[in-house]
Structure 1
């Protein structure tokens, strides 16, 4: 007689299961417990997949008991350049052989476009496979033709499959050394219960694929969906299983930002800049050229500053426009900036400089880049652009302004002051305004005049 299936409640955030429903999961999330029917006589994940307990703990475990640390041979990670400059930068020198990497991002961010280019490039060196569980093979072929990608027909294999076991069979049959799975939420394994995308399926599929890659020295990239909060969907254990987590941020327009939120074979401070166009995701080797308007005319309300994305410095242009107010209350419009930061800076101006701002004020970042709220180094540039437009004077385009403004009107230091100044000097800026505590003797001899600023009053005196 068949056993009656039992019911479990599984958290959609962390994958924790309980026999009864509860409002809050142990991970702290509320109302994330969903009901799932589990067959009582279903084989366990460990039995069906043939994984030992040690293998489940670490995908590359070979057993043999504990060893002394001096008996273990150290081995450097083998990296290879992909030819996609910004991707190699984010991965700290290229793709690590035998690594498992996740790429996440909003729909339309360019995950499939980027990995299609990557798998085509890798097929020129080794047998490569792109497994799509979300689109037909003809759709993928059309994308390859549209992007005019170069590939080795003998080494590039396409697979439309949702079964993890069948995918592994194909990897074995074709002796694949580089693979892309699109996506982890669309594949299923017989060793777990639940529908595709459920926490148990996502976790089990990632464990099986990771173990296979570690034992067979296969490099794999896995596409993962995101939820409404722009965070990777599924259980958090998914992030712990893989070697690297890459996330694509979609800015307004064509700019894409690639960041490593986790990387076992490199740092997580590097950011890659891409431009989405009809030829695909193109690496931007010099992002400052995109975020500067390139205008040769001097006009009020325009200021150049330098921000830091990861471990790279990017010059960008901030534009401000002030017009007479025709309504009862003045408008404050920001594109790519934090509104609360703008309100705070206007309050500082009113308090310490007696500046009256009864105008409609519009701020914009050239190039469509979004500035994080924690990026406070642009405070002085925002204030300078606002005063320039309000008082109708021009800040020369050879000037670069950077620094954080405190509530008492003092200019606070910023991190990595010397690299920012060097970046501005390399791009031909001759006047660079920085916090006085960031000034260093190494800034001399760069071909630019570095002017330390202590207070908001010092800045106004220098730019007027």
Structure 2
């Protein structure tokens, strides 16, 4: 059999070259050449199957019997859209140590308890090392089978002789195809191994979960084509605390607007059914500089505490320290308040913090941030039953934001009765037992806080 020949192809224009080039000579794109292999041996077209089935796109042609497999972890099922779809390929990414292997082993254990047969392929750990994790998670089950191997051909040889209800590959960067000369983790290896798992999943109608490492930029290592090939892309993220967020960045069988919340402890990842209660449980009552803001994570709203401390500067240059929010956005709000309200903030230190270690970037945080700054500057207490949400423009205007109904519902559920929001989000009195305080600019916010609502 002829050895496959290596060539390089530009992913932008399709130009081929026998050597790798940093810049494509055809379209002038940089770093777009990807390694490929070709086999010049003629294909035997006589053996190609002519049994082709064509179905009309009608409701009766859809096979709906037991399409999804619930993993019995509500937060995971929520993000997946109800469970794993049979024949689907799921890519789970996240930083090292974030809990990817822990989560997949817990998924395997939950399914194994329902008499599902699971194959856990590990290219990074031995069976003994996985057993140590299973002991910590109390995840031992005779329906979970461990395979510590990295050759994709050996993996398929076993899969062809056995039947499983779920296959997990940890991780895709360690598995390789021996017919290619490139090392494991290279672009061509990741692409071909992913394609191989995808073909298996579709052919055998078995869901496959593959774990992927991420780069320094937070993207899954390997070609972007890999994310286009799979059916679902999930990211497990978290800061230096014990909280983890599972988000869907792509889902062919459900919404990408759902978020799962977990806490990491000695027993693994535990579901957090009420994250708002978790992040607010130690909040100080009637304290200056402390506000509550309902942030929107997909279709889910979570109440978090935002703190600001404004104090006279002890140094030549005022300090600006932000944790959990964008420092540039915080400086912008400081500049707006100084310009529109005449507050002397340029000569004072300002520290900001989202309690719990969450990282929040949405603009609805602006109004709560401004309220916390004003409260700390004046040393006026914020009522403990008040929440704030809204975007602030450079002219000091308060702009409307999305998901206002969901934000108000979550605040009401958590017994917050005073809602400070943009006037643009007022569409009649829709909620009972809730006082809405619509404002149009930061001057009205200042008066509201100074008059204690």
Same fold (TM > 0.5): yes
Conserved? CA contact 1:316–1:366, under 8 Å: yes
Instruction: Give the counterpart of 1:463 among 442, 445, 449.
Output: 449
Paired position in structure 2 for 1:397:
384
Determine whether 1:308 maps to 2:296. Answer: yes
Shift of 1:41: 6.9
Conserved? CA contact 2:2–2:41, under 8 Å: no
Paired position in structure 2 for 1:104:
93
- Tell me how far apart the structure 2 counterparts of residues 245 and 30 of structure 1 sit (CA, whole Å): 26
Structure 2: stretches of 5+ with no match in the other structure: none
- Tell me how far apart the structure 1 counterparts of residues 398 and 92 of structure 2 sit (CA, whole Å): 39
Paired position in structure 2 for 1:181:
169
Shift of 1:296: 4.8
Shift of 1:190: 3.8
Instruction: Give the counterpart of 1:122 among 96, 111, 114.
Output: 111
User: Closer, same or farther in 2 for the Cα pair 1:329/1:410, shift >3 Å?
Assistant: same
Determine whether 1:452 maps to 2:438. Answer: yes
User: Closer, same or farther in 2 for the Cα pair 1:266/1:37, shift >3 Å?
Assistant: closer
Structure 1: stretches of 5+ with no match in the other structure: 55-61
- Tell me how far apart the structure 1 counterparts of residues 235 and 390 of structure 2 sit (CA, whole Å): 29
Conserved? CA contact 1:119–1:179, under 8 Å: no
Instruction: Give the counterpart of 2:242 among 244, 254, 258.
Output: 254
Paired position in structure 2 for 1:148:
138
User: Closer, same or farther in 2 for the Cα pair 1:438/1:147, shift >3 Å?
Assistant: same
User: Closer, same or farther in 2 for the Cα pair 1:21/1:217, shift >3 Å?
Assistant: closer
User: Closer, same or farther in 2 for the Cα pair 1:4/1:104, shift >3 Å?
Assistant: closer
Shift of 1:299: 1.9
Conserved? CA contact 1:13–1:29, under 8 Å: yes
- Tell me how far apart the structure 2 counterparts of residues 270 and 14 of structure 1 sit (CA, whole Å): 36
3-state SS of 1:327 partner? coil
3-state SS of 1:317 partner? strand
User: Closer, same or farther in 2 for the Cα pair 1:178/1:5, shift >3 Å?
Assistant: closer
Paired position in structure 1 for 2:205:
217
TM-score by length of 2: 0.90
Count how many residue pairs are aligned between Structure 1 and Structure 2. Answer: 445
Shift of 1:402: 0.9
3-state SS of 1:272 partner? strand
Conserved? CA contact 1:101–1:245, under 8 Å: yes
User: Closer, same or farther in 2 for the Cα pair 1:426/1:223, shift >3 Å?
Assistant: same
Paired position in structure 1 for 2:185:
197
User: Closer, same or farther in 2 for the Cα pair 1:15/1:395, shift >3 Å?
Assistant: farther
Determine whether 1:30 maps to 2:30. Answer: yes
Paired position in structure 1 for 2:350:
361
Shift of 1:13: 11
Conserved? CA contact 2:2–2:40, under 8 Å: no
**1:172-202, CA deviations, whole angstroms, 9 ceiling, x for partnerless residues?**
3331121100111111124544221122211
Paired position in structure 2 for 1:285:
273
Instruction: Give the counterpart of 1:407 among 383, 387, 394.
Output: 394
User: Closer, same or farther in 2 for the Cα pair 1:279/1:247, shift >3 Å?
Assistant: same
Paired position in structure 1 for 2:320:
332
Paired position in structure 2 for 1:58:
none
Determine whether 1:208 maps to 2:196. Answer: yes
**1:28-55, CA deviations, whole angstroms, 9 ceiling, x for partnerless residues?**
8634658x797x87979x99xx9x999x
Conserved? CA contact 1:318–1:364, under 8 Å: yes
3-state SS of 2:373 partner? helix
Instruction: Give the counterpart of 1:417 among 388, 404, 408.
Output: 404
Determine whether 1:78 maps to 2:78. Answer: no
- Tell me how far apart the structure 2 counterparts of residues 278 and 91 of structure 1 sit (CA, whole Å): 25
User: Closer, same or farther in 2 for the Cα pair 1:24/1:255, shift >3 Å?
Assistant: farther
Conserved? CA contact 2:123–2:175, under 8 Å: yes
